[in-house]
Amino acid sequence: MKKITSILLTLTMLATVGCSAMMVVSAETTTNLGSYEVFSSDGKATFMDYTEDKADVIIPSVVEGNPVAEVAPNVFLNKSNTENIFIDENSEYFTSVDGVLFTKDMTTLVAYPKNNPRAEYTVPDGVVTIAENAFVGSGNLKSVILPEGVTKIKKSCFRDCTSLENITIPDSVETIEGGCFNNCTSLKSFDFPANLKSMSFPNFRDCTSLTDISLEPQHAKVFLVRILEPTAFFKEESNWENGALYKDGVLISVKQDTDGEFEVKDGTKAIAMFAFDNSKVTKVTVADGVEYIGPANFDFCSELTEVYIPESVTEISEKAFKKNQANLVISGFEGSYAESYAEMLGIEFKAVRASDDSLGDVNGDGKLNVRDATAIQKHLARVTELDESELSVADYNADGRVNVKDATAIQKFIAGFLI
């Protein structure tokens, strides 16, 4: 059974504390801190609120014999004057360093005082989790550095940090929960951590200064469209080309009014989830070099009749297409991943050509060399004309056409840029 109590707590703050030392408090003088919820079932207390919005907040270690084991995530939300959060030195569960509250083992940053005058803050090494609401409304902060080893940033963590311009997030971060950067109106750039596996949305609402991002192909597996929609980066028309938004080898989004045939541009490595959602394209040619196609891409493209998928694609989300999607053909090489994927979903497959060692050997000398690229170029310039058998191997990138992209791809292969 739970018992709710409101009490006056007797506490004393150390008269002198070094700037970088651990902040501790011993129980001697009186400070009115407000209400606590005490759980009689496990004999532990939760710090729920305090009545006075003072610069220095002191959290006791024990309430009526029950150790304070939790701090509610909304305790400091409306406390605009807080400059330091201290903890009784006898606490079994928490500690304070430079006025910032941590769990005793220093693996979780629990709360940062929103009115602390610091403009820059570096989270100590060893921290693994940034707690829910930890930095909310810290209006003086302009720069925050998280150390390598942090894996989770919980929801609303940096919300309303309106002065925050830069945040360094290590590649170790795997999860960023929703609302973390909403209303960070001064945030200019954001580098997605390499090992990020989950990022909720909205996360950049009202980030009106966020004009640059950094991605890696694996980030196509998070909901980039919805995450980035509120940002200045997404809204800037000059970032779009031919109705599509690309960044660092990832196709993020195709505008819904894009129609006709669409070619994914060369250099693309991944197509993000929902990139083609509800677009009016009729045929999509996926560029050679793309390795991943995310979910919810083509299942609501009502006018789509064909998607060409090259051999480079080795992973397609099961939900990228609808099962038994009507009036649609997936085209690609015989024996390719695209063929087995189409078969799995019950979608018609059209073989463009069998994959063999003669691909690109236009002059039939048994080698892939500059003479083959030249033969294609001469054909395109109408200096010479390739016959049917030569044309069948000249389509080096297997997009169903013989064009300058095939000659370029052969030249890149010779130069060692493609394998």
pTM: predicted TM-score of the whole model, two decimal places: 0.77
Is the pLDDT at 29 greater than 50? The verdict is no
Examine the domain organization and report whether 255 and 279 are in the same domain: yes
The residue among 366 and 70 whose pLDDT is bigger is: 70
- Mean of pLDDT values over 91-106: 97
Specify which of 74-78, 258-262, 365-369, 414-418 reaches the highest per-range mean pLDDT.
258-262
Q: Which residues contact residue 42 at a Cβ distance below 8 angstroms, ignoring those fewer than 6 apart?
A: none
* Same domain (yes/no): 334, 250: yes
CA separation for the pair 283, 286 (Å, rounded): 10
Distance CA 170, CA 355 (A): 42
> Within this chain, do residues 299 and 387 fall inside the same structural domain, yes or no?
no
The answer to whether the CB of 32 falls within 8 A of the CB of 52 is yes
What range does the domain containing 31 cover? 1-91
Q: Which CATH number do you get for residue 303?
A: 3.80.10
Q: pLDDT digits over 345-360, tens only?
A: 999 999 875 555 678 8
Please check whether residues 311 and 406 belong to one and the same domain.
Answer: no
Question: Which has the higher per-residue pLDDT, 37 or 268?
Answer: 268
156 lies in some domain = no
Determine the pLDDT at residue 12. 30
Question: Do the beta carbons of residue 157 and residue 169 sit within 8 Å?
Answer: no
Q: Are residues 337 and 398 in the same domain?
A: no
Residue 19: per-residue pLDDT: 35
Whether residues 259 and 338 share a domain: the answer is yes
- pLDDT value at residue 393: 87
Our count of domains for the chain comes to 3
Residues 346 and 388 in one domain: no
pLDDT for 176-212, tens place per residue?
A: 999 999 999 999 999 999 999 999 988 999 999 999 9
Domain-located, residue 386: yes
Quote the pLDDT of residue 400: 77
- Name residue 106's amino acid: M
Residues 109-148: tens digit of each pLDDT: 999 999 999 999 999 999 999 999 999 999 999 999 999 9
Cα–Cα distance, 27 to 90 (Å, whole number)? 9
**Of 263, 262, 250, 299, whose CA–CA distance to 278 is shortest?**
299
pLDDT surpassing 90 at residue 6: no
Q: Please compute the mean of the pLDDT values over residues 292-317 and round it to a whole number.
A: 94
Burial class (CB in 10 A: 0-12, 13-18, 19+), 30: exposed
Residue 5 has pLDDT above 50, yes or no: no
Say whether both 266 and 348 belong to one domain: yes
| Whole-number Å distance between alpha carbons of 409 and 107 | 50
Is 411 found in the same domain as 343?
Answer: no
Q: Where residue 35 falls among pLDDT bands split at 50, 70, 90?
A: low
Beta bridge partners of 191: 214
Asked if 208 contacts 185 with a C-beta cutoff of 8 angstroms, the reply is yes
8 versus 181: which is more confidently predicted?
A: 181
Lowest mean pLDDT among 58-72, 77-91, 170-184, 236-250: 58-72
pLDDT of residue 418: 47
Long-range contacts: 265-271, Cβ < 8 Å, 24+? 265/241, 266/405, 269/217, 270/217, 270/218, 270/219, 270/220, 270/294, 271/220, 271/297
Q: Is 331 in the same domain as 405? A: no
Query: What integer pLDDT is reported at residue 307 of this predicted model?
Result: 97
Dist CA 147 CA 193 (whole Å): 12
- Predicted confidence (pLDDT) per residue in 212-261, tens digit: 999 999 999 999 999 999 999 999 999 999 999 999 999 999 999 999 99
pLDDT, residue 23, reads: 38
- CA quadruple 16, 18, 19, 24: dihedral sign: negative
Query: Does pLDDT of 273 surpass 70?
Result: yes
Cα-to-chain-centroid distance, residue 31: 44
Mean pLDDT of 331-354: 90
Each residue of 372-398: b (16+ CB within 10 Å) or e?
bbbbbbebeeeeeebeeebebbbbbbb
Q: Which of 24-38, 259-273, 312-326 has the lowest mean pLDDT?
A: 24-38
Confirm whether 231 is domain-assigned.
no
Neighbours of 353 (CB within 10 A): 14
For residue 27, pLDDT beyond 50: no
233 neighbors 214 (Cβ within 8 angstroms): no
Q: Average pLDDT of 329-344?
A: 94
pLDDT score recorded for residue 242 = 93
Say how far apart CA 144 and CA 210 lie, in whole Å.
16
- The rounded mean pLDDT for the chain is 87
Contact 45, 39 (CB under 8 A): yes
- Any idea which residue has 């693309």 for tokens? 268
Q: What local confidence, expressed as pLDDT, does residue 416 receive?
A: 65
Q: Which amino acid is at 284?
A: V
The C-alpha atoms of residue 212 and residue 217 are separated, in whole angstroms, by 16
Lowest mean pLDDT among 98-102, 221-225, 304-308, 405-409: 405-409
Q: Per the domain annotation, does 119 fall within a domain?
A: no
Q: Return the pLDDT at 56.
A: 93
Given pLDDT bands bounded at 50, 70 and 90, which one contains residue 270?
very high
pLDDT of residue 31: 33
Cα–chain center distance at 217: 11
Least confident piece of the model among 178-187, 378-387, 394-403: 394-403
Residue 115 lies in a domain: no
Residues 349 and 252 in one domain: yes
